[in-house]
Each structure stands twice: as structure tokens, then as C-alpha cells.
Amino acid sequence: MSKEVFDELLGKVGPLITKVDTHLRMSIGPAERLAICLRYLATGDSYATIAFSYRFGRSTVAVIVKEVAGAIWTALVEECMPVPQVEDWRAIAAGFQERWEFPNCVGAIDGKHVVIQAPANAGSLYFNYKSTHSLVLLAVVDAEYLFRVVDVGGFGRSSDSGSLRNSAFGESLRDGSLQLPPDTVIAGSERRGPLPHVFVGDEAFPLLDNLLRPFPGRHLTRERRLFNYRLSRARLVVECAFGILSTQWRMLRRVITTSPEVTELCVKAACVLHNFLRRKTIDMPSRTPIARSTDEVTPTLCDAPRMGSNNATRQSIQQRETFCSYFNEEGAVRWQANVV
């Protein structure tokens, strides 16, 4: 992060983290408070190490990290991670078509386990299949490795499918309230009729009308293996985004020893900072926030009631077969026969 970018970030976050001087002592300036939080996110050092470096108390650093991480999310979320509207979904689909040759794709979805120290009296809530304790970061990523929707705070014991099912995003995906574009005919494939705009995920996710997953099993036909290759090729953007995120903000590569509430604030701050820096790299303007009612889906997804089973409908299965036929015929690329 250059000095110019730091100053720009300070201009957005500064008013939210500025404290008032008193007769007893001078307050810590917003620039230093922001630097302390960024140091923690970028290195994952302990509060004691950062306190020694800045000559502050450990408890002071703990309060600063919590307050500034929340302020970063509040200041940047409307600009860098706004709720996608119909035109935004269309732009994302155009990006996937151009870069990854996957039509009608509006995002790649996956979950990441953020390793934490086991909270007191938490039992097995945060214990995951990797035999560590974690919070789940569920994210939807576009073709430019930008996070479009994030849900942080799921228990580590939950699978990716369970995290999706228990999130407001998953509920909106099932009831059709995400404001996705209407079904569209793929250019050059008019005979197949309109196809829905879909998210792509791995085998951990269910097959839904607007969510594609690979064909399961080992002994698959060549056509289905080609479909799995094309889907996985588009889905890898979310894996790459997680890699970029954890490389820039190395807090995510360590065991985080803060409380789950503070960890959630820090992970959300890292995600929105990722978008803030990534947009400058790809020279992509931030969208102006638009007015919306308070009952719409927001990037900070809240808990939702438990949904039904993950059994796919006949329509979902038929749509996957249609995409499979498309990728093996008019949608084929020249190198896929050499890969599978």
C-alpha cells in the first residue's frame, strides 16, 4: 500500500476513528490508529508485539484493532462491495464470458475456514473437519477476483452447503429474490432456448436452479468430464481470490487468538480492503451507492432459518445437462479436448 493509497483510505476512515483530546492527555491520531490496525491485518502479529512496536499498552492495541476494523467495513462497504443489482449481475456475467468462456455465470462461490483459537466453553461448534477451530468465510467472487458478497461468522463445524443454507444469501438464492437477470439465450445456441444465470461451486454445494456443481463420481462420460473441467476452470477464481486475500492479509495464515466477534470484524475489513486495493490494480471505478430499503439483502449476511434438503429438482438437473451439451458442442474451446 503506497502512501497515496494510505492517505486516501485515511480520508475515508479517519472521521470514524478520530478521538477528542482531553485536558489529561492527547488522543492517538487517526493515522496511527489506522496504521496499527493495518499492521495487525497484514502480519497477524500478537497484540503484545504491536504494542511494543508502537509503545502503547496491549489493551489499547486491542481496542484500536476492534474499532478501526469495524470503521473500515462501515466506510468502504457501500463503495467497494455494494449490493449487486441487475446491471451489476449482467456485467459480472459478461466478465465470465470474456475471460473464462462460461456464459450466464454471475459468480463463483466457495467457503474458507479462518483458523481461530478455540473460544471458551464453545464445545465443538467451531471444530472443523481439518481438526482445527475456525469461522467460515462464505464468498461470491466475480471474474476480476473481487468479492461481491461475503458472509462471515459461520461455525467451523458447518459444511459449505450448510453455511450457504443458513445464510440470507442462500435463502435469497432459493426464493429468487437476488434480482438476477432473466433467463438469456446464449449467442450461437438459440436452439437450446433461454438459460438461467447461475453461480458455480464445487461438490460441497447443492445443485439448484441458479447454482451449478460438477457431476459427481469417478467413472464419468467424456462429455461430463469436459463439463466438470469448464465449470472448475470458472470456479477457480474464488480459490485465487482467497489466495490473494491471505497473501496480502497474513492474519488469515495464522491462528487468530481474538474473540470470534473481533475475528469477524477483521475478516470483513480484510475483504473490503481487498476490493479497495484490487479496484485500483484493475482500474475499475467504484459504483456510486444507491438508496435501498432496509429489508434488502446486504453484503453482511445474517443468519437465516434452516432450509430443506439438498435434493436437486428435475429442472436443475435438466439445466446442468443443457450446459453440458453446450460446452461439448457449440460452446467448446479448442484446447479442452487435450485437457480431459
Q: State the Cα angle at 150 between 121 and 182, rounded to 5°.
A: 140
Q: What is the pLDDT of residues 121-141, one digit of tens each?
A: 888 889 998 899 999 999 999
95 and 69 housed in the same domain: no
* pLDDT number for residue 285: 52
- Indicate if 105 and 216 belong to the same structural domain: yes
Residues 98, 115 share a domain = yes
Q: Is the residue at 186 inside a domain?
A: yes
* Domains held by the chain: number: 2
> How is residue 198 annotated by DSSP?
E
64 and 96, same domain (yes or no): no
Q: What residue type is 215 in one-letter code? A: F
Domain boundary among 17, 45, 79: 79
Low-confidence stretches of the chain (pLDDT < 50) are: 288-309
Give residue 164's pLDDT.
87
pLDDT in tens, 56-89: 999 999 999 999 999 999 999 999 999 899 999 9
Asked if the structure places residue 15 within a domain, the reply is yes
Burial class (CB in 10 A: 0-12, 13-18, 19+), 247: exposed
Residues 42 and 153 in one domain: no
Q: pLDDT per residue over 276-301, tens digit each?
A: 999 888 765 555 444 443 343 344 44
The sheet with strand 198-200 has its strands ordered as: 147-155, 134-141, 105-115, 198-200, 211-212
Q: 39-65 burial string, b = 16+ CB within 10 Å, else e?
A: bbbeebbebeebbeebebeeebbbebb
Predicted local confidence at residue 330, as pLDDT: 86
Residue 304 lies in a domain: no
Do 104 and 238 belong together in one domain? Answer: yes
Residues 42 and 94 in one domain: no
Q: For residue 72, count other CB atoms closer than 10 A to its CB.
A: 27
Give the residue from 187, 214, 211, 215 showing the smallest Cα distance to 197: 211
User: What radius of gyration do the chain's Cα atoms show?
Assistant: 22
Residue 129 to residue 16: CA distance in whole angstroms? 39
Considering the domain architecture, whether residues 222 and 273 belong to the same structural domain is answered as yes
pLDDT of residue 310: 53
Q: Which of 64, 79, 94 is where one domain is finished?
A: 79
E-only strand ranges, 26-182: 105-115, 134-141, 147-155
116: containing domain: 82-283+313-338
pTM given for the model: 0.86
**Claim to verify: residue 30 and residue 165 sit in the same structural domain:** no
Looking at the chain, how many residues does it have?
340
Residues 91 and 167 in one domain: yes
63 and 101: one domain? no
Handedness of CA 72, 73, 79, 80 (dihedral sign): positive
CA distances to 33, 45, 251, 290 from 39, in Å = 10, 8, 9, 32
Does residue 173 fall inside a structural domain?
A: yes
